Amino acid sequence: MRSATGESGATMDFLDNRRLKRQFEFIIELDRVKSIFRKSRLFDGSRYENDAEHSWTICVMALVLKEYSNIDIDVEKVLKMLLLHDVVEIDAGDTFLYSRERAAAHDREAEAAERIFGLLPEDQRDEFKSLWYEFEERATSESKFASVLDRLEPLLQNFVNSGSTWKENGVEHEMVVERNNHIAEGSRRLWEVAKKLIDEALERGFFA
């Protein structure tokens, strides 16, 4: 396992508490998500959003919108998933939802999950890796609702900034409906809203 370093090259090798050393290494490694930029722009359209900003926003959305989950959920568990779901992109990079490469992204991300969560002590490694897989499989109530927010944020962004990402990448109305209709699995109410948003975006000419 490599030692985490900052720009100065300083390591945590001076720590005699191995558990704390590994936890710090993980935290320092995760700072790299701030440098992973997504295809979606900020709501004001000024620049592309990074993974850390995306995770923060959807965590806030979870707190604000939790009442719209189809069933009662463990919000703390949802927040954990949302904070961790994109850290694999440190190694795997961001794969655009509508790209041809999307189908192959999971294998790269699973390999990244092994390395990145492997920086942690075993108990936390197993917990965080389990949460990541749970989010990916979208079989539990919490993972379904977490996925709602992961998909809803870029829909809102594109609506607010006149479809900038959709236009730049040749994304059509039908593609957005198809790739996002599973929102209903976690929140029928928010999918109703999302459909209205997508249809209104079409009317306004926000698609390619």
Domains of the chain listed by start with CATH number:
18-203 (1.10.3210.10)
State residue 103's pLDDT score. 79
Contact 157, 43 (CB under 8 A): yes
Distance between CA atoms of residues 86 and 56, nearest Å: 11
Q: Tokens in use for 25?
A: 């290494």
State residue 12's pLDDT score. 82
**DSSP code for 48:** E
State residue 9's pLDDT score. 56
Q: How far is residue 77 from each of residues 100, 110, 140, 146, 177, measured CA to CA in Å?
A: 31, 20, 11, 9, 27
Non-local CB neighbours of 181 within 8 Å, separated by 6+ positions: 191
Question: Exposed/middle/buried for 92, CB within 10 Å: 0-12, 13-18, 19+?
Answer: buried
Give the residue from 130, 93, 125 showing the smallest Cα distance to 109: 93
Contact 203, 164 (CB under 8 A): no
Place of tokens 């809803």: 152
State residue 4's pLDDT score. 47
Distance between CA atoms of residues 154 and 138, nearest Å: 19
Map residue 38 onto helix, strand or coil. strand
Tens of pLDDT, residue by residue, the chain (208 residues): 344 444 545 678 888 899 999 999 999 999 999 999 999 999 999 999 999 999 999 999 999 999 999 999 999 999 999 999 999 999 999 999 999 888 789 999 999 999 999 999 999 999 999 999 999 999 999 999 999 999 999 999 999 999 999 999 999 999 999 999 999 999 999 999 999 999 999 999 999 9
Map residue 50 onto helix, strand or coil. strand
Q: Tell me the CA end-to-end span of the chain in Å, nearest whole number.
A: 45
CA torsion, ordered 122, 85, 143, 77, to nearest 10 deg: 60
Distance between CA atoms of residues 6 and 35, nearest Å: 14
